[in-house]
Structure 1
Amino acid sequence: MTKKILIISSEHTGHGHKSITEALSEKIRAYRHAEIHVVDGFSLGGRALEKIGKAYGPITRRAESVWNVIWNLSAMAPSIVDHLVEALIEERFLALIKELQPDIILSVHPNFVGSVLNIMEKKKLQIPFVILIADLVNIYPLWVDKRADFIISPTMEAKQLCLEKYGIPPSQIGVFGLPVRSRFYPKTGSKKTEPLPTAPLNCLVMGGGEGAGNMKKIAKNLLDHFDCNVRIVAGRNEKLKSNLELSLKKRYGDRVHIYGFTENIHQLMLHSDLIFTRASPNVMYEAVASNTPLVITGALPGQEADNPKFAENNHLGIICRNPDDIKDSLSDLLVNDGERLRQIIQSQRTFSNQKAADDILKFILNQEVAHYETEAEFRLLIEK
């Protein structure tokens, strides 16, 4: 009998939720009697909720301070947000459940945790419900609900916050890592095992799917002080892409290449020596998968606030928030034939978990989100 997993995701609030969903979807082929159905949770709320979802990009791109206020206000009253979303999605959600009849529901977006559980409780729907947290350290209250059957955490930091701040029982949460699409992993052998070439360095500058961050100034500091080639990904920010093309191509010529939103970001990462990016969780984990050192240039207020320190603590990269400090920071990484860079590369290999998506699917499908009592018991469950 085929088990159906309904994943509630998001198409427009950044690219991380979609990336996680794709990482799980590509692995489901290994399970003959399982299938995944994906729905954009915002589409369940009709035009009103879809507009809210699509507003995420422009707000985080142009008004981080406004986003910070929204994040903090909604975090103060999560139950109000849950009830508002519940009212908007209930009719379409129930119709979807009737049509699909899923065996498991997996939410990879915080707006569709408490809201969906409210509906299920009210309608007495007995379907296992699992939360897959997509943030690394700063956990939005909407992510956590004790009524869920199980919570999948990407990091020990997120798990500890769930335990200590939100009172989740240890048997109800496990750490799996963050699923990354397989194309981000090098196909043959290890990447960059020898000292890095003296010139030219291949640098990738990006700011998440929405093209946030001071990418122009970062690129100029790189191009003015180092023998390097710079690729810039402006994401969905078409205005930024045009501006960068006008201001940089004339001065630096073929040393700089500008991209909009691209489905081939894995190729750019795999062919780069360094990635300069804000601390987006999925971008960070994709960079680690591609074994490319990170230079964290900023973080979105709220859910990304502590991600730069997370990267630094785990030796996945360095922090350089001020573009004017790039010369000194990069020079420090390159001294002694790139000794610090090679240390970061090795730390990334140790940190990376290529089996995260498989572990998640195996646990959900084989164990039917059963609780466990100890960490050792949990490991045995996913290794069966």
Structure 2
Amino acid sequence: MINNILVISSNFTGHGHKSIAESLCEKFPKNGNIKVNIVDGFSLGGTTLLNVAKAYGPITRKSENLWELIWDISSIKPSIVNEIVELKIKDRFLNLLKETKPDLILTLHPNFNGSILNILEKYHIEIPFVTLIADLVSITPLWADPRADYIISPTQEAKYKCMGYGVPEKKIKVLGFPVRSRFYSRTYRFEKGIDCNSKKLLKCMIMSGGEGVGNMKKIAAILLENFNCTVKIVAGRNKALKNRLEKSLGKKYAGRVKVYGFTENIQDLMWDSDIVFMRGSPNVIMEAVACNVPLIITGALPGQEEENPKFVEKHKLGVVCESTGKIKDVVSNLISNNSQELNKIRRFQRVYANMDAAENIVNFILSVKDADFLVSKMDV
């Protein structure tokens, strides 16, 4: 029986891993006295790995080419990443196991799958090991270690990528993308649709994940110059960007634009929006879908996000507009004919949204039996 769970997450590589951990922790207490220990995997590597994690924000904001190179190297040689991380975290991780004595290990970050499995294997430690993929489509092979007892996939697309990396299908469980419950509390407010005609104020929101990247200023200016609208901009942890946007847009469009830093109440801003412009961040996409607000995807980080715009289009959760020169036409099309296209997107989002994903994941984790675990080990 699973009563004590060790969760390996990340605090500094964006906010998505923490959000997923929070969504699961909302559900664990409903199943009795379950003990959950959440640890930042990078902290197990001391200062060196923590500095690597903290570099994620600056790299993704300032050098997408460098990020793409890092992604490509880790995808081509995942064993090297596993060996380096294993070397750095081994001693602290073994001490952590002694302290916490978990019944199951759950990883939420790809860097700690193969590395931890290497340690468990070398020291003959048998603890059920489950991976929860935090990406939608473009997954690194670091997510797909066939030695894991189970891999929980948020989508069928990620499942097929796992199988392509050699993971047996029976080890992969497609259970949806876990989103914190507060994003779902007003999901069906648009069931009757709305009309964003030329006389009604169009409420726009621009964001780009926790790190605040993307051409927010230009997008905002196009909207404010061409539509009867207000614009909320979320700059995330990027304080320099927040200051620049306030100075450049605040005076010219006073009363029509407001700039936010990192906020814990992002769902409130989404609920008060007719359209959200965003990068292809998996967490932000799924949170917007949970809030039932149409998406306009303006770009994606190379590597883990590059297929997310097509994913959004495939499931009709929003539209893609990677050229700022086309924003005016895209928005005009969405709000024409009494917002016919906007309301169509909302209907598809309500069909796709899975408010039970976090609960289903928790129930599955708690259902992992010793017998399943032993069979899984024999299959490797």
When normalised by structure 2's length, the TM-score is 0.95
Question: Could you tell me which residue of structure 2 aligns to residue 306 of structure 1?
Answer: 307
Q: Deviations over 1:306-329 (max 9, x none)?
A: 000000000000001111211000
Question: Is the 8 Å Cα contact of residues 130 and 151 (structure 1) preserved in structure 2?
Answer: yes
CA distance in 2, matches of 1:235, 1:368: 41
Question: Could you tell me which residue of structure 1 aligns to residue 225 of structure 2?
Answer: 224
Is 1:236 matched with 2:237? Answer: yes
Question: Is the 8 Å Cα contact of residues 288 and 295 (structure 2) preserved in structure 1?
Answer: yes
Question: Could you tell me which residue of structure 2 aligns to residue 379 of structure 1?
Answer: none
CA distance in 1, matches of 2:190, 2:369: 37
CA distance in 2, matches of 1:189, 1:348: 10
Question: Is the 8 Å Cα contact of residues 2 and 104 (structure 2) preserved in structure 1?
Answer: no
Shift of 1:39: 0.2
CA distance in 2, matches of 1:308, 1:188: 22
Q: Cα–Cα, structure 1 residues 289 and 371, in superposed 2: closer, same or farther, change >3 Å?
A: farther
Question: Could you tell me which residue of structure 2 aligns to residue 378 of structure 1?
Answer: none
Question: Could you tell me which residue of structure 2 aligns to residue 212 of structure 1?
Answer: 213
3-state SS of 1:213 partner:
coil
When normalised by structure 1's length, the TM-score is 0.94
Q: Which amino acid aligns with 1:148?
A: A
Alignment of 1:185-204 (within 5 A): 185-187=184-186, 189-191=188-190, 193-198=192-197, 199-204=200-205
CA distance in 2, matches of 1:85, 1:191: 46
Shift of 1:202: 1.0
CA distance in 2, matches of 1:328, 1:204: 17
Question: Is the 8 Å Cα contact of residues 13 and 54 (structure 1) preserved in structure 2?
Answer: yes
Shift of 1:347: 0.3
CA distance in 2, matches of 1:45, 1:55: 15
Question: Could you tell me which residue of structure 1 aligns to residue 376 of structure 2?
Answer: none
Question: Could you tell me which residue of structure 2 aligns to residue 173 of structure 1?
Answer: 172
Q: Which amino acid aligns with 2:72?
A: N
Q: Deviations over 1:168-220 (max 9, x none)?
A: 11110011111000111134753352333432111110011000100000100
Question: Is the 8 Å Cα contact of residues 149 and 369 (structure 1) preserved in structure 2?
Answer: no
CA distance in 2, matches of 1:57, 1:182: 26
Shift of 1:28: 1.2
Q: Which runs of 5+ in 1 are unaligned?
A: 373-384
Shift of 1:139: 1.1
3-state SS of 2:209 partner:
coil
Alignment of 1:75-224 (within 5 A): 75-163=75-163, 165-187=164-186, 189-191=188-190, 193-198=192-197, 199-224=200-225
Q: Cα–Cα, structure 1 residues 76 and 188, in superposed 2: closer, same or farther, change >3 Å?
A: closer
3-state SS of 1:87 partner:
helix
Shift of 1:369: 8.4
Q: Cα–Cα, structure 1 residues 202 and 368, in superposed 2: closer, same or farther, change >3 Å?
A: farther
Q: Which runs of 5+ in 2 are unaligned?
A: 374-380
Question: Is the 8 Å Cα contact of residues 2 and 35 (structure 1) preserved in structure 2?
Answer: no
CA distance in 1, matches of 2:322, 2:269: 22
Runs of 4+ in 1 over 4 A off after TM superposition: 369-372
Q: Deviations over 1:320-359 (max 9, x none)?
A: 1111211000001111101111110000000000000100
CA distance in 1, matches of 2:364, 2:187: 28
Q: Please provide the CA RMSD for this pair.
A: 1.4
Question: Could you tell me which residue of structure 2 aligns to residue 377 of structure 1?
Answer: none
Q: Deviations over 1:139-170 (max 9, x none)?
A: 1011111110000001001101111x212111
CA distance in 2, matches of 1:213, 1:197: 26
Is 1:355 matched with 2:356? Answer: yes
Question: Is the 8 Å Cα contact of residues 2 and 103 (structure 2) preserved in structure 1?
Answer: no
Q: Which amino acid aligns with 1:111?
A: N
3-state SS of 2:130 partner:
strand
Alignment of 1:33-48 (within 5 A): 33-48=33-48
Question: Is the 8 Å Cα contact of residues 234 and 261 (structure 2) preserved in structure 1?
Answer: yes
3-state SS of 1:236 partner:
coil
3-state SS of 1:33 partner:
coil
Q: % of aligned pairs identical?
A: 55
Question: Could you tell me which residue of structure 2 aligns to residue 248 of structure 1?
Answer: 249
